[in-house]
Structure 1
Amino acid sequence: MNEESVSQLYLKDTAFQDLMQRRIFNVLLVASPYDAFMMEEDGRVEEQLYFEYVALNLSSPPRVTRVSRPSEALDLLAVKRFDLIIMMPGIDLSETFVGAKEIKSRYPDVPIIVLTPFSKEVSRRLAKEDLTAVDYVFSWLGNVDLLLAIIKLLEDKMNADNDINEVGVQLILLVEDSVRFYSSVLPTLYKFLLKQSLIFSTEALNEHEQMLRMRGRPKVMLARDYEEAVALYERYGKNMLGVISDVSFKREGVKDSKAGIKLAKYLRERDPYLPIIMESSEEENAPLVKEFGGAFIDKNSKKFPVDLGNTIMKDFGFGDFIIRDPETGEELLRIHDLKDLQRHIFDIPAKSLLYHASFNDISRWLYSRAMFPIAEVIKNHRFRNIEEAPAVRQLFFDLIVKYRKMKNRGVVAVFRKDRFDHYSNFARIGQGSLGGKGRGLAFIDSIIKKNPICDNYDGVTLTIPRTVVICTDIFDEFMETNNLYPVALSDIPDEKILKYFLQARLPERLIEDFFALFEVVDKPLAIRSSSLLEDSHYQPFAGIYSTYMIPHVDDRYEMLAMLGDAIKSVYASVFYADSKAYMTATSNVIDQEKMAVIIQEVVGKQVGDYYFPSFSGVGRSLNYYPINDEIPEDGVTEVAVGLGKYIVDGGLSLRFSPRHADKVLQTSTLDLALRDTQTKFYALDMKRGVEADFKVDDGFNIAKPRIQDVAQTGALRYMVSTYDFRDQVIRDSDFGEGRRVVTFANILQHKVFPLAEIVDFMLTKGQEEMGRPVEIEFAGVLDVDARGKGSLYWLQIRPIVERKDIVDESILGLPDEKVLLRSNTALGHGNIDNVDTVVYVRPENFSSSNNSLIAREIEKINRNFTERNEGYVLIGPGRWGSSDTALGIPVKWPHISSARLIVESSLKNYRIEPSQGTHFFQNLTSFGVGYFTIDPSSNDGIYDVDFLNGCDAVYESDFIRIVKFPAPLTIGINGRKGSGVVVKPEVNTSI
């Protein structure tokens, strides 16, 4: 067993929701009114069953319908489906069994049970009847527990093939031919199993999981003779938890007083360690049972049910796991639960570990608790020599860790301060909503759980940070108990709102929970908003509210004060002026907004006084600015050193398509790499955070160190390269003299960390699971000492929702004569609004020798548009921004910064390979500017310059004309198809 084998455990998690799929919901009771009355004790059988189910935390108690005779049953069966028929014979036994045959012939799949009060006379009469149509006969002594046991026995049988053989649920085989005896044993057995499974289910992380876990309890099957028992063992033997057997029953059609002993020997040959409990009314059978190592119970004992329960508890792996000295039998250690086993695994003496492992005691104990994946691995692991004990202990420990991580993943646990530990992944405090980001994180966790590769993606773990969500009901309680709505909904300044919120008190009961959190998490904490409207599928609400970060300090009361202030500051941000304005703009009502708060480990490492991740990034599964051989569906990623707030605030991130990671435009030339890459980054200031008061600006404790300074510590290895000014080259190393340049070359080109592959996985799986294009956030920590491997944390997922994304396809499909511009290689996406002016270079007067003069003229024109805060369409030949004047007009970005759509158009005598906006790519993508490439002479697109020439100009020179239209132009771009149009306005003359 190696680490790779252990990681495969992810593939074997138990889908408890797929267990017990076939259930008994409707029961038909065929009994005389007197028998029915006696059975029901004045008509309460259904009510009693219901309370029995509720007491044992079982779902879906069955409905009982009563009829008096088999003929009435047939009439009812013709119009309604029943899952079980229970028949109580009256004075005429034969009527019941003849009726049963008739029913069985028409409805062979519906089980038929006969319930009868037992006496010697009834036994004698039953022996004469044809029982072929009856599945089981039970002795009715007025105990409603028997009805529960009958229903569960039949459900176990119906679900056995899937649950036992496919999933690994365990089976207890009861071999007994005495109707009276199995009628009393089965209720005892089921009551015991259901109560045990209720106890074990409390290891589940929430109530829903608890209900599902109960489906993993061991099943029970009844065999009434030797052959039936052997057949059941051959079918389900590899998952048998234990056998309870009588000694005397039929074998080969005749009563055999030692059939049980023979059965035990048959079973022992196949499984030497299978627990066998023999019950008999003959004491002389006890030594025979001892010979093969079974347990003996006297049927005549007044405390038989207690003896049976105690023996099952001891031999079948229920109760505490008692570690014994194999030589003396002395109890050395008592293990209560899985967490306890993990804590004490290294304390178990080697000889005891070997003894218990040899007899499958450990796996049996785990099986009884429905921990099938780990139980199966331990059962199949052969441990034969005491010298292997250290390795076995480590293996079992690693298995438990892996299993506990797996069970925590994909589940929103209820936060319990006594249960929250290093393997807890995602918990909630409160009963309200998780909010938008909280739901997104829970969804990510479920995606990770479904994909085992996340546990080891080429040496990198993909996970979410440890997270606790304070649900929206805590927000409601905080607002109401502190009477904050009058202040919050008023028009007072943000600073005053924050002051009121910071003076308010959070619910006292949170204190103990927060202390439990501090015990486990020893890293800085991010306190993030997770409102009901954030990350909604239908409106873009990301980034409206605050996210605060607090450093970790050892004093838990200081931590408590900082965390409390951070939570209250996030609550306050719901009611800041910007939030209210945004609410109004999106037609939402501020007092309907509810805020959950995410408390999350900050991803990163400490370097000096700074704490930051190696890198942070955002990705989109659609790229509206593909270049070279990229297509929109390849997606796009922006990544930067340090905290992700740097990207959100518009810093210089590195942009690449995860499927073309070796082609990064920003580092394709020396000039671009030195101009368009990051020189500073964001980090949490570990000192300033403790000393400073909370402010409206959530970045008050964020530092902005220089890349050059921190790179010298070695903390940015693999993310930075070094500019060698002597040789005028960039070397992909952080050694040597010279400026450090953030190129991510070692990651993207030299693959020391599979960032591009994992981002592509996240975008692809995220879009697939969400059913729409997505945007993600992530952060990573490189273990620079281990050759660049480390962890990647998936922080968020949300649908890509932009109102301007909706482009009317009918516009794009307009006939050529109605179109001013059409491009088949357009960059950008959506509608460009409020642009009514076209600035174009006059083709008839164009000569590349004048390109420098044209650039200066456009700079002046752009300055006027910028002063008026207006946009325009810019059209010209060649490559915009080329430093080579022979290839295009050498403008810089500030010279054309107010252009909302830029068009490269070839002329017949001036055909230059298009640039696709590469010179301004960073700005095009940041500001959402459209970029058209058109070559009319090759029938690649349309540029109706004659139409523009026929319009009156508001400005005209030798090189440039400006045409202004009375209404904004209709401009649409479909970024997925790369097509874009500008529609001709109705009026042909300007005003």
Structure 2
Amino acid sequence: MDKITEKIKVRPENSHSPGIQVRSILFVSAPYQLPGLKADIHPSPWKITYAVSMEEAAALLGKADFNLVFIEMQTLDHKTEITIQHLKGLCPGLPVILLAPPGHCKNRSLERDADHIFIWSGTPEVFHAMVRFIEDQRCKDTTRRAVLLVEDSLEYASFFLPAVYKGIDTAFPGARPPRLVLAGSHETAMARFRELGNRLECVLSDTRLPWQGREASGAGIDILSTIHREMPELPIMLMSAESANKTRAESIPAPFLDKNAKHLGPNLHEFFRSLTANRPVGGRNTLPKDPYPVQTCPAGFTRIGNGSIGGKARGLAFLAQTLNRRPDLVAVYSEMTVNIPDSLILCTDIFEDFVRDNGLARFTGRPLADLVQAFIDAPLTGEVLGHLQTYLAGTCAPLAVRSSSLLEDAVTHPCAGLYKTYMIPNNHADPDLRLSHLATAVKLVYASAYYKNARAFIRSTTTHPFRDSMAVMIQETAGSRHGDFFYPAISGTAHSLNFYPAANAKADEGVLNLALGLGHTLAQGEQSFRVFPKHPQATPQFSGTRDFLEKTQNRFYALRMTGYPETLCFGICSNLERRDLSQALNEAPVKTLASTYMPLEDRIRDTWYCRGPKVITFAQVLKYGAPPLTALVNDLMTALAHAAGGPIELEFTADLPDRSGGPWKISLLQVRPMSSPRDTSLITRADLDEAVCVSTSALGNGTLDTIRDIIYVNPEVFEGGKTPDMAQQISRINAELAKTNRRFLLAGPGRWGSSDPWLGIPVDWQQISGAGAIVEIRDGTIHADASWGSHFFNTITAHGVPYITVNSGTCDRIDLENLAGCRTVRDEGFIRHMRLNRPLLIKIDGKHSRGVIIDAGKADNDIQDQ
């Protein structure tokens, strides 16, 4: 610390400044976040300098003058000698704002170090509001009028910040609008009221606030009552998350804002609009809305709108920056060309305008068919349609219309697969019909933000009033046409950290999943080919030729290019068709990637050109390195993980050359950070001896000791063809437990969340949202690999839910039928709900992929027996 301090020039605070105008900003963030941040606030009215560590930030403070410092909370998670207090000591008076992701602001003690802490999901409007707030806070103009906001909740203060500024600009147009003053307690609010007096334009106050060191349910009532007595003409508003306080607001009297309202932002805006009733506004509100700007971002894609590009697009920006900085990564692979598809992004403000202008929020909770139809029927504006029409004029390639929500692919909330992707052929002779197809796909992606699964995820991982918002990313689909269908030869997902190493593989060598055709196979957790990229010839999941015949991919997804209805098939898989391998035996990708089973020899030959059943083994790529795809993936994962500062997941496609001897076409589609275990939960020999469940393939890390409920698939009555019925039975029990917020252990055979009901129980997240831990039993009842890499699986791990796999034929074991103090609460037939007197003890050792479940009630009985 002392050596660092010696090298840095400490600047004295300028106490004579009348205030500050922010011109230069230092932004400290994890490396993965920075490219997306640059894209989100580009172009910027400020000079922004970026640092990827607190040490780098300290060094930069000694070289340049900054007016404001932002620090993302994730940066503080890493071991560092530089603290916020140390940075502030280097430049006294320099304001520092700490940024926390939605739902992850638990350390309020950090407020003592930073000037302010706000919740931020990456939206430009909040960023602009925070900068403006700092300028207002440091304003020394004693004649400037003000708006007083009294709010102690970080979540609500962060939400209100841009909303109040929007209201101020509406109610007080001009070059010198009132400044915003924020107070977080009764004492501070009253002090600000006494200080500002007649300069106040209005006061908005929460009801429950700190007062004399304790939270007081009527603090806001007292504040507004006092203000109303002394300044009865001053507009005031009471806010509360408790609707019963509306009556108390009437007694002041003051208008009331319900903080649980679905339309909280618009309701707040109406309060400010009411302030203009007796004030001329110069026709400001009658001006037409400004057009959406069209910008080319530093990452190389085009964005339309002023809002955020969303999480998925931020990952694309990180991917582009890494490749631009490391051209050597792909220069050595002459057998392949590597690209990122050109992208057009409709920012989040277009989504928000679309939902608001068409009143679509009222369809929340409605039946899915009604919700979807409402979004389809709602019109996009002529301006947006014009942008889409211009885009279509430049391409006739098939298109993928993909979600890019604020939380999607974020470090703390990956929420992969919650929202929809739609593919369209984009080859109809009528350009108006092509435009209609694209517009419908965009609106259906928007609709997926209101699906029950998505809303349940957001509610469980963030706090009110945060609401996810949706950007849309439009890309040319990677692949080639084969007859009536379009698809890439290979779709792949690569993880730089492998929680389930086998054979000679190590955890940090990663894992790779490959599938013939479009990536929907991987996203849904259907049958794919898993391989360790450092050991591409090893296939530990296949013990013999019979396994290759039974466990390799025999179906794949492709986009139909002819014979589709003019309205397209925007159903579960959009316009995709699930094709049998037998339908594509003579198509080039199958000829290239398939091997042949020789019945008389009971062996598999690595060629398509002989008689016998075909098996997708990817042998040409994995065994013979033609092309050296695994080597390229290894290099990409190493570079991306290093640049991101942690493990990553990469999605890509590999397509056949256009001509004989030409290069394979590799398209990089998406990158996202992976969650990696930090603290190891030690499992002792005594734990292993006492455990009712032992697993050597457990995902997660830590100790869980609160679960008393078990939802268990009854093996005695299991029927493979009845798994959809089992999913419904689980859903009913989950709904009942959710009413009392009871978490449960979920256990059963095969893949949880499988879209193929013959490979496991086809539940979705909403149906098991109360699961605190999941056990996947692989005992031969269902023949399926574990569901690693699927979106469902990623959602489970994003919630921090331990995922325990029990493999028969190993030292793994499970016995949940003989637990002490256990009673059956509900028996649905296939599914049994059991409850214990004492919680289970679940321990996961993430470093060694081990897990145990211990029956605490049995330990009590053993003590009594003694």
Q: Which residue does the alignment assign to 2:589?
A: 715
- Which residue matches 1:444? 319
Residue identity in the other structure for 1:474: I
- CA RMSD in angstroms comes to 4.9
Greater alpha carbon shift after TM alignment, 634-643 vs 919-928: 919-928
Q: Secondary structure at the match of 2:547?
A: helix
The partner residue of 2:340 within 456, 459, 464 is 464
Q: Is the 8 A contact 1:475 1:595 kept in 2?
A: yes
Describe the superposition over 1:700-735 as per-residue Cα deviations: whole angstroms up to 9, x where unpaired.
311112212212133323311122223322221122
Residue 809 of structure 1 corresponds to which residue in structure 2? 680
1:544-583 alignment to 2 at 5 Å? Answer: 544-553=418-427, 554-583=429-458
Task: Judge conservation of contact 2:678–2:701 (CA < 8 Å) in 1.
Answer: yes
Q: Deviations over 1:963-986 (max 9, x none)?
A: 996434323333432443444525
1:516-571 alpha-carbon deviations (Å, 9 max, x no partner): 32233231111111111211211131111111111122433222111111111111
Q: 1:59 to 1:531 in 2, by over 3 A?
A: closer
Given the alignment, which residue of 520, 531, 534 partners 1:645? 520
Distance 1:771 1:793 in 2: 23
Identify the residue that residue 751 of structure 1 maps to in structure 2.
625
- The residue type paired with residue 472 of structure 2 is V
Deviation for aligned residue 1:81: 13
In structure 1, the residue matched to 2:501 is: 626
- Rounded to whole Å, the distance in 2 between the matches of 1:564 and 1:679 is 34
* Counterpart among 475, 496, 501 of residue 600 in structure 1: 475
Query: Which residue type is aligned with residue 438 of structure 1?
Result: A
Give the 3-state SS of the residue equivalent to 2:620 in structure 1.
Answer: helix
Equivalent in the alignment of 1:432: 307
Task: Identify which range, 806-815 or 782-791, moves more after superposition.
Answer: 806-815
Q: Distance in 2 between matches of 1:949 and 1:547?
A: 45
Mapped to 1, the partners of 2:64 and 2:707 lie a distance apart of 68
Aligned to 1:660, the other structure's residue is in SS state coil
* C-alpha contact 2:821 2:836 (8 A) present in aligned 1: no
CA distance in structure 2 between the aligned counterparts of 1:902 and 1:449, rounded to whole angstroms: 42
> The residue matched to 1:682 in structure 2 has which SS?
strand
- Partner of residue 665, structure 1: 540
Per-residue deviation, residues 491-528 of structure 1 (Å, max 9, x unmatched): 32222222222222223233443333223323111111
Partner of 1:611: 486
Question: What is the CA distance between 1:475 and its match in structure 2?
Answer: 1.7
The letter for the 2-side match of 1:430 is G
**Contact 1:901 1:932 (8 Å CA) reproduced:** no
Per-residue displacement from partner, 1:579-607 (whole Å, max 9, x unpaired)? Answer: 22333233355873221110100011111
Match of 2:650 in 1: 776
Structure 2 residue runs without a partner (length 5+): 1-43, 48-61, 66-291, 731-743, 751-757, 764-770, 794-802, 825-833
**Quick one: structure 1 residues 823 and 485, their matched pair in 2 at CA, closer, same or farther if it must change by over 3 Å?**
closer
Question: Offset at 1:781?
Answer: 0.9
CA shift in 2, pair 1:823/1:496, >3 Å: closer
Q: Does 1:985 align with 2:849?
A: no
Measure, in 2, the Cα distance between the counterparts of 1:979 and 1:561. 52
Identify the range of structure 1 (683-692 vs 584-593) with the bigger mean alpha-carbon deviation: 584-593
Are 1:478 and 2:354 matched, yes or no? yes
| 1:692 is aligned to 2:567 | yes
| Residue type at the aligned position of 1:513 | H
In the TM superposition, 1:211-222 aligns within 5 A as none
- CA distance change for structure 1 residues 58 and 810 in 2, over 3 Å: closer, same or farther? closer
SS at structure 2 position matched to 1:593: coil
Identical aligned pairs, as a percentage? 29
Question: Which of 642, 654, 660 in structure 2 is aligned with 1:786?
Answer: 660
Equivalent of 1:725, from 591, 599, 612? Answer: 599
CA distance in 1, matches of 2:557, 2:370: 28
Cα separation, partners in 2 of 1:502 and 1:688, compared to 1, 3 Å: farther
Among 359, 379, 394, the alignment partner of 1:520 is 394
TM-score, normalization by structure 1: 0.46
**Structure 1 residues 507, 816: CA separation in 2 closer, same or farther (over 3 Å shift)?**
closer
Q: What SS class does the counterpart of residue 658 from structure 1 fall into?
A: coil
**2:510 is the alignment partner of 1:635:** yes
Displacement of 1:785: 4.4
- Structure whose alpha-carbon radius of gyration is higher: 1
Q: Report the equivalent of 1:232.
A: none
CA distance in 1, matches of 2:809, 2:555: 38
State whether residues 580 and 590 of structure 1, in contact with CA within 8 Å, keep that contact through their aligned partners in structure 2.
no
Secondary structure in structure 2 of the residue aligned to 1:495: helix
CA distance in 2, matches of 1:438, 1:932: 38
Please list, as runs of the form range in 1=range in 2, the aligned pairs for 1:65-464 lying within 5 A after superposition. Answer: 415=294, 425-456=300-331, 457-464=333-340
Whole-angstrom distance in 2 between the partners of 1:512 and 1:730:
55
Q: Is the 8 A contact 2:520 2:557 kept in 1?
A: yes
The answer to whether the 8 Å contact 2:711/2:745 transfers is: no
Which deviates more, 966-975 or 521-530? Answer: 966-975
Structure 2 match to 1:860: 716
CA distance 1:459–1:951, shift in 2 (3 Å): same
Distance 1:934 1:459 in 2: 42
| CA deviation profile, 1:648-694 (whole Å, cap 9, x unmatched) | 12210101111111102345520110000111100111135552356
Counterpart CA distance in 1 for 2:690 and 2:715 is 28
Q: Counterpart of 1:441 in structure 2: which amino acid?
A: L
1:973 equivalenced with 2:844 (yes/no): yes
Contact in 2 for aligned 1:776/1:796 (Cα 8 Å): yes
- The aligned residue for residue 145 of structure 2 is none
Name the structure 2 match of 1:539: 413
SS at match of 2:426: coil
In structure 1, runs of 5+ residues without a counterpart are: 1-56, 61-79, 84-412, 840-857, 881-891, 905-914, 956-962
Whether the 8 Å CA contact 1:448–1:462 is kept in 2: the answer is: no
Name the CA shift for 1:894/1:639 in 2 (closer, same or farther; >3 Å): closer
* CA shift in 2, pair 1:990/1:687, >3 Å: farther
Letter aligned with residue 731 of structure 1: R
Q: Choose 647-656 or 730-739, whichever is displaced more.
A: 730-739
Query: Quick one: higher RCO (CA 8 Å, sep 6+), 1 or 2?
Result: 2
Q: Cα distance, 1:619 vs. partner?
A: 1.8
> What does residue 71 of structure 2 align with?
none
Partner of 1:228: none
Partner deviation per Cα, 1:69-119 (whole Å, 9 max, x = no partner): xxxxxxxxxxx9999xxxxxxxxxxxxxxxxxxxxxxxxxxxxxxxxxxxx
Alignment check: 8 A CA contact 1:637 1:657 kept = yes
TM-aligned CA deviation for residue 438 of structure 1: 0.9
Structure 2 counterpart of 1:912: none
Residues 420-473 of structure 1 show CA distances to partners (whole Å, capped at 9, x for unaligned) of 9xx995111122210011111111111111111344324212221111111112
Distance 1:477 1:975, change over 3 A: same
Cα displacement (A) at 1:835: 8.1
> Which of 736, 739, 744 in structure 1 is aligned with 2:610?
736
The residue type equivalent to 1:860 in the other structure is E
| Structure ranking higher in helix proportion | 1
C-alpha displacement at 1:902, in angstroms? 8.5
Give the distance between the partners of 1:611 and 1:798, measured in 2 at CA.
Answer: 26
Contact 1:973–1:980 under 8 Å retained in 2: yes
Report the 3-state secondary structure (helix = DSSP H, G, I; strand = E; otherwise coil) of the residue aligned with 1:520: coil
Distance 1:934 1:613, change over 3 A: closer
- Corresponding residue SS for 2:590: coil
Residue from 354, 375, 393 that aligns with 1:501: 375
What do residues 793-831 of structure 1 show as CA deviations (whole Å, max 9, x unaligned)? 111111224xxx768635536866995489795554447
Instruction: For residue 611 of structure 1, report the CA deviation from its aligned partner.
Output: 0.8
Q: Distance in 2 between matches of 1:544 and 1:429?
A: 24
Task: Quickly say closer, same or farther: Cα 1:603–1:794, change in 2 above 3 A.
Answer: same
TM-superposed deviation, 1:757: 1.5
